[in-house]
């Protein structure tokens, strides 16, 4: 076998072209890994927070809480359905209202929508991991709210101990900051359901009802009962399925964007790798002819140059994947289409994503290097003799 150090050193000797070519590949891997990490971050924020033994009831035909309206009086019917767990001496249900408020960003860079959730005293316990990390939960009846960790300080007055206007002339005080395992609730403002209803003129209605079931298996009977009376117009969804649906659009958007950018870049990067390898092989014709004269068979020459271009690509891949991993430190806000409000996402690197991105780099090296390697393998040994 032709030793791999031959290829490694040949790459090192051509520092500038090697670096330029692997940078091209690094860019592709960066885009690819970053978009996959973002999708995984979206899953974490929008999807992973759901519980299999939670259900949400919305008005039939409304995919999201935002455009669902249910009469407050009918919440009792949901609570009476079979399979509903009890907690604290009552049914584990919470009729919540969800509205969107427009807020100015800190620093005056325009405004954006923030999701405001009117909750009951049961709402927090229906979430898997909701914890007030600073301050306290708002008291019912008071003009108080708590805010998710991710929007803290992003809007004027939206910070612990400060006040801001939910609506014109409707100032509320921030008394607590909460986390919820990275879920989308961390980008919301939570207040008492009565406060939110009156502030936004939504008397007598909720958006949806969150329900804790006795077990995940209890869902089917619950759904049948709740959806049974067509006049009520209810639709029951598992919380996991509901959240997955919420993230579908954004997930598809980021995936499509990332994949198409990566695809076009990768064509360029592969052509770059091909040109580099062709040039390098043209410069080494005598070397290759000598190897052939010494008796190295064609397949070994082919393999050797494939290894070289794959190594070149993997070096770029490692660079791109490393840079993408650094995005872990970055969080950024993006419009979530299903709620029309801004939500903060993080990039979530996983071994699978990084491994997949490296594999993609390897494939780029293989494809880009194939024809040059074939040309090298076809070099006649007579070349070695030419003065």
Chain residues that interact with other proteins, rule: CB under 8 A: 1-3, 5-6, 9-10, 13, 286-287, 290-298, 380-382, 384-387
Residue 267 neighbours by CB under 8 Å, 6+ apart: none
Query: Rounded to the nearest whole angstrom, what is the least distance from the CB of residue 314 to other proteins in the complex?
Result: 19
35 closest CA partner among 239, 258, 216, 361: 258
Query: What is the three-state SS of the chain?
Result: CCCHHHHHHHHHHCHHHHHHHHHHHHHHHHHHHHHHHHHHHHHHHHHCCCCCCEEEEEECCCCCHHHCCEEHHHHHHHHCCCCECEECCEECEEEEEEEEEEEECCCCCCEEEEEEEEECCCHHHHCCCCEEEEECCCCCCCCEEEEEHHHCCCCCCCCCCCEEEEECCEEEEEEEEEECCCCHHHHEEEEEHHHHHHHCCCCCEECEEEEEECCHHHHHHHHHHHHHCCCCCEEEEEHHHHHHHHHHHHHHHHHHHHHHHHHHHHHHHHHHHHHHHHHHHHHCHHHHHHHHHHCCCHHHHHHHHHHHHHHHHHHHHHHHHHHHHHHHHCEEEEEECCCCEEEEEECCCCHHHHHHHHHHHHHHHHHHHHHHHHHHHCCCHHHHHCC
Query: Rounded to the nearest whole angstrom, what is the least distance from the CB of residue 272 to other proteins in the complex?
Result: 22
Query: Rounded to the nearest whole angstrom, what is the least distance from the CB of residue 375 to other proteins in the complex?
Result: 17
Phi-psi region of 233 (alpha: psi -120 to 50; beta: other; left: phi over 0): left
Task: Give 90 or 297: the residue with its C-beta nearer to other proteins.
Answer: 297
Task: Give 200 or 296: the residue with its C-beta nearer to other proteins.
Answer: 296
Query: Rounded to the nearest whole angstrom, what is the least distance from the CB of residue 366 to other proteins in the complex?
Result: 23
Task: Give 326 or 382: the residue with its C-beta nearer to other proteins.
Answer: 382
Query: Rounded to the nearest whole angstrom, what is the least distance from the CB of residue 250 to other proteins in the complex?
Result: 50
Task: Give 15 or 230: the residue with its C-beta nearer to other proteins.
Answer: 15
Task: Give 154 or 292: the residue with its C-beta nearer to other proteins.
Answer: 292
Query: Rounded to the nearest whole angstrom, what is the least distance from the CB of residue 300 to other proteins in the complex?
Result: 9
Task: Give 10 or 348: the residue with its C-beta nearer to other proteins.
Answer: 10
Task: Give 210 or 292: the residue with its C-beta nearer to other proteins.
Answer: 292
Nearest-angstrom CA–CA distance, 360 and 321: 11
Task: Give 162 or 380: the residue with its C-beta nearer to other proteins.
Answer: 380
Query: Rounded to the nearest whole angstrom, what is the least distance from the CB of residue 6 to other proteins in the complex?
Result: 6
Query: Rounded to the nearest whole angstrom, what is the least distance from the CB of residue 14 to other proteins in the complex?
Result: 10
Task: Give 54 or 304: the residue with its C-beta nearer to other proteins.
Answer: 304
Query: Rounded to the nearest whole angstrom, what is the least distance from the CB of residue 319 to other proteins in the complex?
Result: 23
Nearest-angstrom CA–CA distance, 286 and 292: 10
């Amino acid at each position: 076998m032709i030793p791999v150090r031959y290829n490694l050193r040949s790459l090192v000797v051509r520092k500038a072209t090697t670096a330029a070519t692997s940078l091209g590949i690094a860019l592709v891997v960066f885009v690819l890994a970053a978009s996959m990490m973002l999708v995984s971050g979206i899953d974490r924020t929008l999807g992973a927070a759901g519980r299999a033994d939670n259900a949400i009831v919305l008005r039939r035909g409304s995919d999201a809480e935002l455009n669902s309206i249910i009469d407050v009086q009918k919440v009792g019917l949901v609570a009476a359905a079979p399979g509903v767990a009890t907690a604290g001496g009552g049914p584990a249900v919470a009729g919540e209202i969800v509205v969107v408020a427009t807020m100015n960003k800190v620093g005056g860079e325009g405004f954006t929508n923030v999701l405001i959730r009117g909750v009951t005293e049961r709402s927090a316990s229906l979430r898997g991991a909701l914890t007030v990390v600073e301050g306290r939960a708002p008291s019912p009846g008071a003009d108080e709210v708590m805010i998710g960790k991710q929007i803290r300080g992003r809007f004027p007055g939206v910070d612990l101990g400060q006040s801001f206007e939910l609506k014109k002339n409707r100032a509320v005080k921030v008394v607590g900051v909460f986390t919820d395992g990275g879920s989308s609730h961390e980008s919301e403002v939570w207040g008492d359901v009565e406060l939110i209803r009156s502030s936004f003129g939504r008397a007598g209605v909720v958006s949806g009802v969150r329900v804790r079931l006795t077990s995940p298996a209890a869902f089917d009977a619950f759904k049948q009962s709740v959806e049974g009376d067509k006049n009520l117009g209810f639709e029951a969804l598992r919380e996991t399925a509901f959240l997955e649906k919420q993230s579908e659009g954004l997930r598809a958007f980021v995936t499509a964007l990332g994949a198409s950018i990566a695809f076009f870049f990768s064509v360029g990067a592969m052509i770059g790798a091909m040109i580099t390898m062709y040039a390098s092989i043209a410069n080494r014709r005598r070397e290759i002819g000598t190897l052939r004269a010494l008796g190295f068979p064609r397949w070994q020459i082919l393999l050797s140059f494939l290894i070289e271009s794959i190594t070149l690509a993997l070096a770029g891949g490692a660079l791109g994947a490393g840079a993408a991993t650094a995005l872990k430190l970055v969080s950024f806000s993006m419009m979530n289409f299903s709620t029309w409000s801004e939500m903060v996402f993080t990039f979530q690197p996983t071994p699978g994503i990084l491994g997949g991105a490296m594999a993609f780099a390897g494939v780029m090296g293989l494809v880009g290097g194939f024809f040059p390697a074939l040309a090298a393998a076809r070099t006649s040994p007579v070349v070695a003799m030419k003065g």
